[in-house]
């Protein structure tokens, strides 16, 4: 049996919207995009690099995140994450996109995404990056096994939150690493 791990940047108040760039996700008038960038450091880069290169599965992305990543990562020729992301199999949940998808090693999930993902999870480890709407659907169907949260020391006060409309109950902390900028990299598992 595989597992699904969600890897997410969040603020102290749980906002996950637009951590990387000002224009990444401005839905609902969100104007604080790029909030996580100022907290990047070598500790965080090493942890993310280790997680991505040790992954023996595939990425699972929602449409918005896929389109954002596909428009950004293949053009980052001086970034070590580009090669890893290009080579990794990517499964995309979307009712709007059609095959062929533009980024190499990308597959559009057929039919009901949740049912298809549950089948994939039987044999494959999947990592969700961003993809808030998809992730909340997976949580509601009890499909997420682990949360790797990069908890940034800032409060947004507004924006889309990771656990909006989701009741998970208790999670168990299995690892935590502080960074030099105050980010806590915390790994939680279900019960």
Phi-psi category of residue 14: left, alpha or beta, with phi > 0 → left and psi -120 to 50 → alpha? left
Backbone angles phi, psi at 16, to 5 degrees: -120, 0
pLDDT score recorded for residue 127: 94
Report residue 35 as tokens. Answer: 């909030």
pLDDT score recorded for residue 54: 56
45: which residues sit within 8 A by CB, 6+ positions away? none
Backbone angles phi, psi at 129, to 5 degrees: -115, 130
- State how far the Cα of 74 lies from the Cα of 153, in Å rounded to an integer: 30
pLDDT score recorded for residue 53: 58
pLDDT score recorded for residue 112: 95
pLDDT by position in tens, the chain (length 191): 999 999 999 999 999 999 999 999 999 999 999 999 999 999 999 888 777 755 568 999 999 999 999 999 999 988 888 888 999 999 999 999 999 999 999 999 999 999 999 999 999 999 999 999 999 999 999 999 999 999 999 999 999 999 999 999 999 999 999 999 999 999 999 87
Bridge-based pairing state of the strands 146-152 and 4-11 = parallel
pLDDT score recorded for residue 49: 78
pLDDT score recorded for residue 31: 97
3-state helix, strand, coil in the chain (%, to 5): 30, 25, 45
pLDDT score recorded for residue 33: 97
């Amino acid at each position: 049996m595989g597992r699904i791990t969600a890897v997410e940047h969040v603020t102290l108040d749980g906002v996950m919207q637009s951590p990387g760039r000002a224009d990444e996700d401005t839905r609902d008038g969100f104007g604080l995009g790029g909030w996580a960038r100022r907290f990047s450091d070598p500790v965080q880069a090493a942890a993310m690099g280790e997680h991505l290169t040790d992954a023996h599965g595939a990425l699972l992305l929602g449409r918005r995140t896929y389109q954002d990543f596909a428009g950004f990562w293949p053009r980052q020729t001086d970034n070590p994450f580009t090669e890893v992301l290009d080579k990794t199999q990517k499964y995309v949940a979307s009712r709007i996109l059609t095959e062929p998808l533009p980024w190499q090693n990308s597959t559009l999930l057929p039919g009901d995404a949740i049912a298809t993902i549950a089948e994939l999870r039987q044999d494959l480890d999947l990592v969700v990056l961003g993809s808030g709407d998809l992730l909340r659907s997976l949580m509601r169907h009890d499909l997420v096994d682990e949360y790797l949260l990069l908890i940034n020391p800032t409060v947004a006060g507004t924006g889309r939150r990771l656990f909006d409309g989701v009741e998970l109950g208790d999670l168990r902390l299995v690892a935590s690493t502080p960074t030099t900028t105050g980010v806590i990299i915390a790994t939680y598992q279900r019960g």
